[in-house]
Amino acid sequence: MSLQEEIIAALGVKPAIDVEAEVQKRVDFLKSYVRQAGAQGLLIAISGGVDSAVAAGLCKRATDELTAEEGKEYMTLGVFQPYGEQEDIEHSYAVAEAFGLTRKVETNIEEAVNEIALEVEHSLKALGQHRHITHQGKGNVKARTRMVMQYALAFENNLLVVGTDHASEAITGFYTKWGDGAVDITPLSTLNKRQVRQLAVYLGVPAEVVTKAPTAGLWPGQTDETELGITYDENSDYLEGKPVSPEAAEKLERYYKRTAHKRNVIPGI
């Protein structure tokens, strides 16, 4: 078995999907987990990108079906988490509108992130390192601060925190450990980016969200493909078992090996 085949098997990606069946399977998965946990619903942070939009659509279907089946209200809480002013925040609200999310809240993380960054810089100074926190380091603080807020809101409302990780992110480890990677359940796993977009079209995600350049939103102008140096088309082709350029394959496999610690259970002795 080639390394490509091993990675595809480990991440569970199919070469092609039945979109309608995949949607219902993932809705049923969410419903089962909510029941098992005794939760009152789901919390999804809606960033304005296609991944969180699809997750939001699945969550809303799941809680609507649970409410109808059990005769009591289950909720999907949509959370918007800008850092200061987010230039595409209207996309987050458009997603909430498209899926009829009546429970939604905006929590701006700027003040909290800046306070943490300042404390880090004080600590660096105490260590004799007279410098600012790095660009990437502050980006990680943003991701982890968002997750702290999500879990606080989830606790107060007995909700499960839903993640947006999928196979195209998992292969590269393109998420923050204990940030957007710290969730209760991941309904998009085993899908690649192309397949996530297929679900987005089926669910009715606004077109401008489906087609926009993917970004983690950790700093202005950041895009996934620029940062990774590989396109999501190449990424998806690889995960569907299709041939890709040797350079793309080598880069994806290097990312996969280097970020294994993000996908593995915390090691013990």
Please list the active-site residues. 51, 169
- Say how far apart CA 235 and CA 20 lie, in whole Å: 23
- Who contacts 4 (Cβ-Cβ below 8 Å, separation ≥6)? 238, 241, 249, 253
- Say how far apart CA 158 and CA 10 lie, in whole Å: 32
Beta bridge partners of 41: 75, 159
- What's the token pair of residue 163? 């993640």
- Say how far apart CA 18 and CA 130 lie, in whole Å: 55
- Say how far apart CA 218 and CA 142 lie, in whole Å: 7
| CA 196 vs CA 35, 55, 161: distances in Å | 25, 9, 19
Segments in the chain forming alpha helices (H): 3-11, 19-37, 50-70, 89-98, 110-126, 135-157, 167-170, 193-203, 207-211, 224-228, 232-239, 246-258, 260-263
- What's the token pair of residue 261? 């610690």
> Side by side, which strands form the sheet with 75-80?
104-106, 75-80, 41-45, 159-161
- Say how far apart CA 27 and CA 238 lie, in whole Å: 27
| CA 17 vs CA 23, 29, 98, 159, 217: distances in Å | 10, 17, 24, 30, 29
